[in-house]
Amino acid sequence: MADPHVKLYPAHVQERQTKAEAALAATGFDALVIQSGVPFTYYSDDQDAPFKTTPHFAHWVPLEGPQHLLCIRAGKKPLLVRVKPEDYWYEQTPIGAPFWLPEFDFKEVPDEAAAWKEVGVQTNAAYLGDTPAAAQKQGIAAACCNPSALVARLDWDRARKSAYEIACMDEASKLGGRGHLAARGAFLEGKSELEIHQQYLLGVGCLEKELPYESIVALDAHGATLHYTGKRTQRNGRVLLIDCGAKFQGYASDITRTWAGRGIERAFAEIHKGLDLVQLELCKMVKPGLPYLAIHEAAHEKIADLLKHAGVIKLGGKEAVEAGLTHPFFPHGVGHFLGLQVHDIGGRQKAPEGGTIPPPPQYPYLRTTRTIEEGQVFTIEPGVYFIEMLLRPHREGPKKELFDWELIKFLFAHGGVRIEDNLLVTKEGHRNLTRPHI
């Protein structure tokens, strides 16, 4: 029996073809050539950085590796040219019979020059990729390389996920859930950050380089560094904040959990339990037509009430938010688009033609400002942290009496709490892709 994503893939490619043809017609191009990317070599070195496929190429086909070309023309089957060098240094895997192969006019060549030859001269073509100079040598004009009007339309289309993409993200969520459960077990056994990270990889069943982003495995105070990647070796932490995802056919999950052990402050235990409830309340808000900003604003108000109940601050709700009391505890946005990229493109895009909807000045790190629509996938990830550099200005400020500084002093050692799920927007509301697995 075929996996769900296999059966759904032909319709996904047809949708890509239809959307691409519309974008080409709207921007005046006859063809589109997308390159999978080229290796990036570190300065003054002979080693390459881990390779990442160009997202617009990956949107069509999960073919790994650099230099491949994809040519799209109206009314014609997409041409896919795989570059498979004659190379005894690195493994060159035979193509075999992958599920995606029948959807393309497929060619295999030994180098980039041969790939361009297969594509041929495409008059009035656009190029998407990271080596526009190579495209210009093939006769594609500089103004037609990564043209903003075309890119904007393709970025806009990526925000609405096809059934194939959703099936892939379901699988990525399942894999991420396995990793998180394995990591939780290691934490409860008193393992170090490094050991917890290693157990996560075993749980997912992947190499470190195959993760969608570098794992955040933070014990105790390290949880107050939002993108902490230290992997220290001390053991027996009281609190674990772990932010890790997994990939399937190029699509990512992005999951955060905070686990508490013994010996934590009563107030921190209340915050830990309460933030999980806050996160679920925010998830319940998700439905088409709601501005994403409304969820972020609600997160601040709910976090204010939570902090007041725990005794950390003396105001709650809108009153606390308007007084600026929540910002040092919750300094990031409540979520972001998710897909081929962990922080997927288009979260602030105004329209298919482009433009930007900037976040309000008081929330500069909010990555998503669009109105929620069916088919979008994004994260909901409120957090509460005890960060000295953010609280310091308030310690001697005009509102210092509104904080319990003695309690905060003890909470610094606990780092912070973040809970993150991945949500698919449905016609009536949403489906949580994460909670079934963890």
Domains and CATH numbers, the chain: 4-158 (3.40.350.10), 163-437 (3.90.230.10)
Q: Residues 341-368: pLDDT tens digits?
A: 999 999 999 999 999 999 999 999 999 9
Measured CA to CA, the distance from residue 382 to residue 299 in angstroms comes to 7
Residue 103 makes CB contacts below 8 A (sequence gap 6+) with 9, 10, 13, 61, 77, 78
Tell me, what's the pLDDT at 90?
Answer: 85
Tell me, what's the pLDDT at 2?
Answer: 75
Q: Residues 274-317: pLDDT tens digits?
A: 999 999 999 999 999 999 999 999 999 999 999 999 999 999 99
Measured CA to CA, the distance from residue 387 to residue 53 in angstroms comes to 36
CA of residue 173 relative to chain centroid, distance? 12
- Reading the block at residue 268, the tokens are 């921190």
| Whether residue 1 has pLDDT greater than 70 | no
Tell me, what's the pLDDT at 89?
Answer: 87
Contact call for residues 95 and 108 (beta carbons, < 8 A): yes
- Reading the block at residue 224, the tokens are 């107050």
Which one-letter DSSP state was computed for residue 77? P
Q: Which residues of 286-319 are buried (b: 16+ CB within 10 A; e: fewer)?
A: bebeeebbebbbbbbbbbbbbbbebebbebbeee
- Closest alpha carbon to 71 in 43, 44, 45, 107: 107
Measured CA to CA, the distance from residue 39 to residue 67 in angstroms comes to 8
Q: Residues 117-147: pLDDT tens digits?
A: 999 988 899 999 999 999 999 999 999 999 9
Looking at per-residue confidence, does 271 or 263 come out higher? 271
Mean per-residue pLDDT of the chain: 97
Tell me, what's the pLDDT at 207?
Answer: 97
Q: Residues 73-123: pLDDT tens digits?
A: 999 999 999 999 998 888 888 999 999 999 999 999 999 999 999 999 888
User: How crowded is residue 140: how many other Cβ atoms within 10 Å of its Cβ?
Assistant: 21
Give me the sign of the Cα torsion angle 267, 296, 148, 344: positive
